[in-house]
Amino acid sequence: MNELVDINQSSKSRSWIAIAAIVTSVLVLAAVTSSSRQLGGFSLTSAHPANERVIIAVEGMHCDGCAAGIKAMLKRTAGVISADVSYERKEAVVDYDSQKTTPEKIVEAINNLGYKARVKNNS
């Protein structure tokens, strides 16, 4: 009878070890995936990030509300990762995925709102 109890205990221990190994694997995979997103778009399958930055001159903004509206629209634009639009500097600094959009498409999106935009600088 004692041997039967030891076998059951051993089986339970192995089950817990297997569960712990699975949970650890999932956590490691989640950490790697999260880190790859934070490192500027690197992926496990691509050695070259597709992220680029463009500075766009924007004419026609009259206030910070205009800048906020342009920023909100840019954040909804396919391929745009982030945007910082400044009324004071009359420009938008846009980080984008070059595999999904281009500076010209970003300029066009701003122009479609009624502003006059042009590429000022590609970084």
pLDDT tens for the chain, 123 residues: list them: 555 555 556 666 666 676 766 766 666 655 555 544 444 544 444 445 689 999 999 999 999 999 999 999 999 999 999 999 999 999 999 999 999 999 999 999 999 999 999 999 765
- Residue 68 is encoded by which pair of tokens? 């906020």
- For the chain, the structural domain boundaries read 1-49, 51-122
What are the beta bridge partners of residue 53?
Answer: 95
Instruction: Could you please state the CATH topology (level 3) that the domain comprising 51-122 is classified under.
Output: Alpha-Beta Plaits (3.30.70)
- pLDDT number for residue 66: 96
Through-space distance between the first and last CA atoms of the chain, rounded to whole angstroms: 75
Question: Residue 53 has which token pair?
Answer: 């930055």
| Angstrom distance (rounded) from CA 87 to CA 115 | 12
